[in-house]
């Protein structure tokens, strides 16, 4: 499945109504750190397929959703479980940091 692009219109259906946890990468094409972690996000999407849904939301094209969640810096990664934002990571971080947050949500 890989990484799924979502919009303000598809956010509720794809993320809030998901039966499995969802990692949402709030990003923009002009953002260097966003581009730096993109390969990590892709890897996680493949490695955790079936356990975690991985989505990307372009903040320039979809201003409503980032506003609802108080996104002030990108990249911001938010992990949703049962329609709730349960973990948030701001900035370009290591794969291990993201994986630790995901594992905490999957185990909890």
Q: Note whether 77 and 88 are within 8 A (CB).
A: yes
**Active-site residue among 31, 44, 52, 74?**
31
Torsion from C-alpha of 72, 102, 94, 35, nearest 10 degrees? -50
57 as an active site residue: the answer is no
From the list 6, 23, 24, 34, the catalytic residue is: 34
Number of H helices, E strands in the chain: 4, 5
- The structure tokens listed for 56 are 């990307």
Q: Are 92 and 38 in contact (CB under 8 A)?
A: no
* Catalytic residue list contains 34: yes
Question: Which of the residues are catalytic?
Answer: 31, 34
């Amino acid at each position: 499945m890989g990484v799924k692009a979502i919009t303000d219109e598809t956010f509720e259906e794809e993320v809030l109504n998901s039966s499995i946890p969802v990692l949402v990468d709030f990003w923009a094409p002009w953002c260097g750190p966003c581009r730096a972690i993109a390969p990590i996000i892709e890897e996680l999407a493949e490695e955790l397929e079936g356990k975690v849904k991985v989505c990307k939301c372009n903040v320039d094209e979809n201003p409503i959703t980032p506003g609802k969640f108080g996104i002030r810096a990108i990249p911001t990664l938010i992990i949703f479980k049962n329609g709730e934002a349960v973990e948030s990571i701001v900035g370009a971080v290591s794969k291990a940091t993201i994986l630790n947050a995901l594992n905490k949500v999957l185990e909890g």
